[in-house]
Amino acid sequence: MTFKTLDDLNDIAGKRVLVRVDLNVPVKDGKVTDATRIERVAPTILELSKKGAKVVLLAHFGRPKGEPVADQSLGLIVPAVNDVLGKQVAFAQDCIGDKAKAAVDALKNGDILLLENTRFHKGEEKNDTDFAKALAANGDIYVNDAFSAAHRAHASTEGLAHLLPAYAGRTMQAELEALEKGLGNPKRPVVAIVGGAKVSTKIDLLTNLVKKVDALVIGGGMANTFLAARGTDVGKSLCEHDLADTAKQIMIEAATAGCAIILPEDGVVAREFKAGADNQVVAIDKIPADAMVLDVGPKSVEAVNAWISRAETLVWNGPLGAFEIAPFDTATVAAAEHAAARTKEGALVSVAGGGDTVAALNHAGVADDFTYVSTAGGAFLEWMEGKPLPGVDILRQK
């Protein structure tokens, strides 16, 4: 890896370390309902504090569009941060200027300070140099631990790294190391599973993957678009008929790159989209005209699991079926369990991400058994699309 980490940061007692973290947690009635994101950045904060740094946290919260909005103040989440860290965190009502400076000046070695929402200033999302300089005035060192914000070139995620010595925090480091193993420099064969609802949201992702992986399993609603493009009648299934040419193009690019495309051989069909709906397994060329495919069938699961058995590396985005409604979670759960078992044996590197994918792996009870499950959302998808991540690239250059 070509970026610096906290291992390269010694003798930092008394140094002001600006740490970009993701504290964009869900809040209901003034209370944090899920502290996962705070938990993820806690190790970096506590490590720096233990080394005697003055830890100054930078984060955004919601979408306040460049001006202060009371219910998007990071002050609201201070109690939750205190709870997770087991330490009292100071708070400043601005992230730049006199208020920020006074709060930073008051810090003793090892203290932690949270600055107000960076998006209360227009300069943040514009990556304005003067705003970045105003942030940098309160730090000697910059640490970025917010992979989930790294697909945006904002002042606190990218601009600051031009102005201060820059390092990856522990969460950023873990994410980058996992992604490197997944697609950067993976052990082959590499198999990708892509599912979910629609091709239209994943064209860039599919186009990038066929160039990088040895086999691409396509499941979920989007498989119907590929099947229909091939001439299969998919009945009432979710299907983007207008994307037939796109699907064909992706299959051509896969053939050119030597990437096998694995489409379902059978499906579980129903007449209603609801839990417990009457359902049956049919061969993929026998989908009744009045039915829709809500999961891939048992033969398809066998094929997917055979590819997982052959693979050294698996990258996964998108469930194989409508996993939110039983029994249409069956294929997703079966493939997830098999991938988890192979990972536990040490035979497979498994990297997964995506909002619904994380939910599906949690539902299957195997998220902890995967090599890495990314909760980064947009940044993870842009990485799978092969797009540059400005917040990561600037760390690599430094």
Shortest separation between residue 321's beta carbon and ligand ADP, angstroms: 5
CA angle 320/323/328 to nearest 5° reads 85
Position of minimal CB gap to ligand ADP? 196
**Candidate list 110, 355, 377, 386, residue with the active-site label:** 355
Do strands 260-262 and 215-218 pair parallel, antiparallel, or not at all (unpaired)? Answer: parallel
- For the bound state, the minimum distance from the C-beta of residue 291 to Mg ion, rounded and expressed in Å, comes to 24
Q: Is 355 a catalytic site residue? A: yes
Burial of 139 (0-12, 13-18, 19+ CB in 10 A): buried
Is 357 annotated as a binding-site member? yes
317 touches which of ligand ADP, Mg ion, none (CB within 5 to 8 A by kind)?
ligand ADP
- Token pair recorded at residue 200: 């239209």
Contact 276, 311 (CB under 8 A): no
Which candidate in 87, 198, 271, 299 is catalytic?
198
Instruction: Please say which residue, 322 or 348, places its beta carbon nearer to ligand ADP.
Output: 322
CA pair distance 367, 387, nearest whole angstrom: 26
Neighbours of 204 (CB within 10 A): 14
**Footprint on this chain of ligand ADP (rule: CB under 6 A):** 195-197, 220-221, 238, 293-294, 317-319, 321-322, 324, 354-357
Residue 324 labelled as part of a binding site: yes
Q: Closest-CB residue for Mg ion? A: 356
Residue among 370 and 380 whose Cβ is closer to Mg ion: 380
| 378 counts as catalytic | yes
Residues at the contact surface with Mg ion, assessed by CB under 5 A? 355-356
* Least spacing, CB of residue 355 vs Mg ion, in Å: 4
Is 198 a catalytic site residue? yes
Selected catalytic residue, list 16, 20, 37, 170: 37
The residues near 267 (Cβ < 8 Å, ≥ 6 apart) are 281, 282, 284, 287, 293, 294, 295, 296, 297, 300
Strand boundaries in 276-325, DSSP class E = 279-283, 292-296, 313-317
Q: Which two tokens stand for residue 303?
A: 């094929």
Structural tokens at position 196: 């979910």
Is 60 part of any known ligand binding site? yes
Minimum distance of ligand ADP from residue 70's CB (angstroms): 31
Pick one of Mg ion, ligand ADP, none as the site partner of residue 322 (Cβ within 5 to 8 A by kind).
Answer: ligand ADP
Q: Which is nearer to Mg ion, 222 or 263 (CB)?
A: 222
Shortest distance in whole angstroms from residue 219 CB to Mg ion? 14
Q: How far is CA 26 from CA 38, 154, 308, in A?
A: 11, 22, 35
Give all strands (DSSP E) within 4-131, no chain letters.
Answer: 16-20, 27-28, 31-32, 54-58, 90-92, 112-115
If contact means CB under 5 to 8 A according to the sort of partner, which of Mg ion, ligand ADP, none does residue 266 touch? none
Which of ligand ADP, Mg ion, none interacts with 264 (beta carbon under 5 to 8 A by kind)? none
Say whether 11 counts as a known binding-site residue: no
Which amino acid, 47? Answer: E
Q: Which does 182 bind (CB under 5 to 8 A by kind): ligand ADP, Mg ion, none?
A: none
CB 213 within 8 A of CB 260: no
Binding site residue list for ATP: 202, 324, 354-357
Q: Where in the sequence numbering do the catalytic residues fall?
A: 37, 198, 355, 378
Binding site residue list for substrate: 22-24, 37, 60-63, 119, 152
